[in-house]
Amino acid sequence: MGLINIRLGDYIERSTINNKDLKYGVDLIVGVNSQGVFATPKGNTDGVDLKPYKIVENGAFVYNPTRLELGSIAYRTEGLCIVSHLYMVFYLTDEGKKIIDPMWLYIYFRRSEFCREVTFRNFGSQRPEFNFNDMSDIVIPLPDIEIQKKYVDVYNAMLENQKSYERGLDDLKLVCDAYIEDLRRQMPCEAIGPYIEERNEKNIDNAIDLFQGVNVDHVFTEPKRVAEDSENGSVVRTGQFAFNKVMKAHNTKLPIALREGPDCVVSNSYQVFEVTNTSKLLSKYLLLWLNRDETQRYAGFISFGTTRDIFTFKDMKEISIPIPEIKIQQCIVDIFSCYQARCDINEQLKAQIKDVCPILIKGSIEEVTKAKEA
């Protein structure tokens, strides 16, 4: 067959089959993130009407029509699930399966070049939405299916290597969590109040120009809005904690992080404190406890407010944790530091897999071209 240009719409069919009989429950709800994978939605699904949710089976492509330019498209291989009615779902037709390897097509979608094409086609729209007709109009240069499979094998080998590494991460996290849980059961808990002190240092004369916020993943990030004058902001020194007093995600997330980079400034909605008795309590050990889901939910439980629930520094002081001797704390911190380092490596592996997508597509197309020239 060589290399041919196909209109994608001639080889795919849309699916609108929904969960009208309520056969499937909230445990099967997933979304598609910008990494091109299915993920559990972050929002609260209690009381959601599941009838309009679309049914997705193996072999389906699912994408968010308003976020496709960000890479929000995935290929289903993990069994049946349901997605929001706002998603587009399509399958290869029988004719399409004869000439298109679905994983090759997924790799094609994962390229930044495809995302730019989506952006270009959406240009001028007040609310860009890449609907099924737009997807159908995509023209793809398609090599022989055997050549497609050859490059898919390379992709799958890299993906399996990353997944294997990720499974090892889960085991390491389990060890760390189990160690912490054993401490909670074996020794009494103490309020952390005597070990920490509030800090309220202002950014006099705007001496520090690095403005930061803290997200629900407990990481310092660029804030969505930067104050023109940060003089009234609170300074966060290296080794200090900062947390947003306003609870997030239906009172299950307290955005808190330990500053390990250069000094920065946060808004007045944040509280800043530090550990003052480091001979008894390590900051990183405390961070592990504060970032646990159980602690986050407890913070939401004791927070208060009318329009927003607030968690104050006084509330923080009342949190109780087991405080073993420093050597044990350091061992736990070391295990978790190893876990974090491996998480970073795993993210690098994911980035490499995404970066190789355009190389694989280009290679498969060029192989056909070179074969014809020979």
**Which pLDDT belongs to residue 231?**
64
106 in the same domain as 9: yes
pLDDT confidence of residue 226: 63
The neighbour count for residue 179, using CB atoms within 10 Å, is 15
pLDDT of 374: 57
Is 370 a domain residue? no
**pLDDT score of 209:** 86
Question: Which structural domain, as residue segments, surrounds residue 288?
Answer: 188-323
CA terminus-to-terminus distance, the chain: 16
Residue 137 lies in a domain: yes
Element (H, E) at 266: strand 264-266
Q: Is 287 helix (H, G, I), strand (E, B) or coil?
A: helix
Last residue within a domain, chosen from 142, 165, 199: 142
Do 137 and 200 fall within a single domain? no
Of 305, 323, 341, the domain-final residue:
323
Amino acid at 347: E
Say which residues have a Cβ less than 8 Å from residue 42's Cβ, sequence separation at least 6. 249
| Res 53: pLDDT | 96
Record the pTM: 0.75
In tens digits, the chain (374 residues) has pLDDT values of: 578 999 999 999 999 999 999 999 999 999 999 999 999 887 777 788 999 999 999 999 999 999 999 999 999 999 999 999 999 999 999 999 999 999 999 999 999 999 999 998 886 656 678 999 999 999 999 999 999 999 999 999 999 999 898 888 888 888 888 888 888 888 999 999 999 999 999 888 888 989 999 998 889 998 876 655 556 789 999 999 999 988 887 778 889 999 998 999 998 889 999 999 999 999 999 999 998 888 888 888 888 876 778 899 999 999 999 999 999 999 999 988 888 899 899 999 999 999 999 999 999 999 888 766 65
User: Is residue 127 located within the same domain as residue 23?
Assistant: yes
* Total domains, the chain: 2
Q: Is residue 97 part of a domain?
A: yes
Residues 132-163: b if buried by 16+ CB within 10 A, e if exposed:
bebbbebebebbbbebbebbbeebeeeeeebe
Confirm if 36 and 72 have CB atoms less than 8 A apart.
yes
* Residue 147 domain flag: no
Q: What is the CA radius of gyration of the chain?
A: 25
Question: Cα(321)–Cα(308) distance, rounded to whole angstroms?
Answer: 26
Distance of alpha carbon 219 from alpha carbon 157, whole angstroms = 32
Question: How far apart are the C-alpha atoms of 367 and 154, rounded to whole Å?
Answer: 15
**pLDDT at position 206:** 83
Strand partners, 90: 14, 61
Domain assignment present for residue 123? The answer is: yes
Please check whether residues 11 and 134 belong to one and the same domain: yes
* Cβ-based neighbours of 87, under 8 Å, separated by 6 or more: 31, 32, 54, 62, 63, 64, 65
| 112 and 23 fall within a common domain | yes
> What's 283's domain CATH number?
3.90.220.20
- Which residue type sits at 238? T
Q: Which of 283, 300, 323 is the last residue of a domain?
A: 323
Tell me whether residue 32 is in a domain.
yes
Give backbone dihedrals phi and psi of 230, rounded to 5 degrees, phi first.
-95, 10
The answer to whether position 13 is within a domain reads: yes
232 in the same domain as 124: no
| 267 secondary structure, DSSP code | -
> Domain for residue 173, yes or no?
no
